[in-house]
Amino acid sequence: MQTNDVLNLWKKNLGAVPDEVWEHAGVTALILADNGLTEISERIGELQWLRTLDLGHNLLAGLPTAMGRLTGLSDFLYLHDNRLESLPPSMEELQRLRYLNISENRFAVFPESICSMSRLVELRATDNQIYLLPDSIGKLSRLRELHLRNNRLTGLPPAISQLSELRLIDLRGNPIDELPDSILELPKLEKLDLRWVNTLRPPEWIDALAERGCLVYR
């Protein structure tokens, strides 16, 4: 098999991943979305050429430790619309990944392993139950888009100021009551979305942020 192969099994009513899928050692993109999957085999770690993996729209409550072996994942990892409450710590090894979507799951605690994915450019974690971001999120120095709509966040850590490439922060629908002044230190911020946030008294620096060209939606 050539290393540019894509294996597209989208919406095939699989119920479970056939064993022969793991024999496709050279596949670079594996699409298993919308198949009613409840588990993923540890054999997924054998797909060392994977750059894109789509496990979205399934019934997954957990992921195998072998996810951490997919160190070639660099393009997209879709985990949205599942039943995940945590990610295996081994996923901190996915340090080439640029796009991660964990939206529409059951996360209450932000997965610490994500903070080691140092090449992330876009992170989507909307529609969960996340109530706190760790200070270690400041390690995502290449992040440009941070989507956190419809969670339970009451604020952001001061370490958010370390995300010097950040262009967009989406906080819609969170019970935010305080935001750190350090947001003003983000040199490339273009959009701060605070719509459907009814608990926040606008901080004094909001106007200064808008005056420098950042779009602030309230």
pLDDT 10s digits, 121-153: 999 999 999 999 999 999 999 999 999 999 999
| Residue partners of 18: CB distance under 8 A and separation at least 6 | none
Summarised one tens digit per residue, pLDDT across range 68-103 is 999 999 999 999 999 999 999 999 999 999 999 999
Supply the pLDDT for residue 2.
41
Q: Give the chain's mean pLDDT.
A: 96
Predicted model pTM: 0.96
Supply the pLDDT for residue 4.
55
Burial class (CB in 10 A: 0-12, 13-18, 19+), 120: buried
Backbone angles phi, psi at 103, to 5 degrees: -65, 160
In order of their start, the domains of the chain are 1-98 (3.80.10.10), 131-218 (3.80.10.10)
- d(C-alpha 58, C-alpha 33), whole Å: 6
Summarised one tens digit per residue, pLDDT across range 146-185 is 999 999 999 999 999 999 999 999 999 999 999 999 999 9
Residue 59 has pLDDT above 70, yes or no: yes
User: Which residue from 77, 97, 86, 179 is spatially nearest to 143, judged by alpha carbons?
Assistant: 97
**What is the pLDDT confidence band of residue 1, given thresholds at 50, 70 and 90?**
very low
Q: Which residue has the tokens 């946030």?
A: 197
- Sign, CA torsion 35/41/42/45: negative
- Sign, CA torsion 109/115/119/121: positive
Supply the pLDDT for residue 180.
96
Q: Per the structure block, which two tokens stand in for 151? A: 């969670």
Give percent of the chain with pLDDT exceeding 70: 98
- d(C-alpha 165, C-alpha 187), whole Å: 8
Judge whether 177 and 153 are in contact, CB under 8 Å. Answer: no
The upper half-sphere exposure of residue 97, i.e. CA atoms within 13 Å in the direction of its Cβ, equals: 28
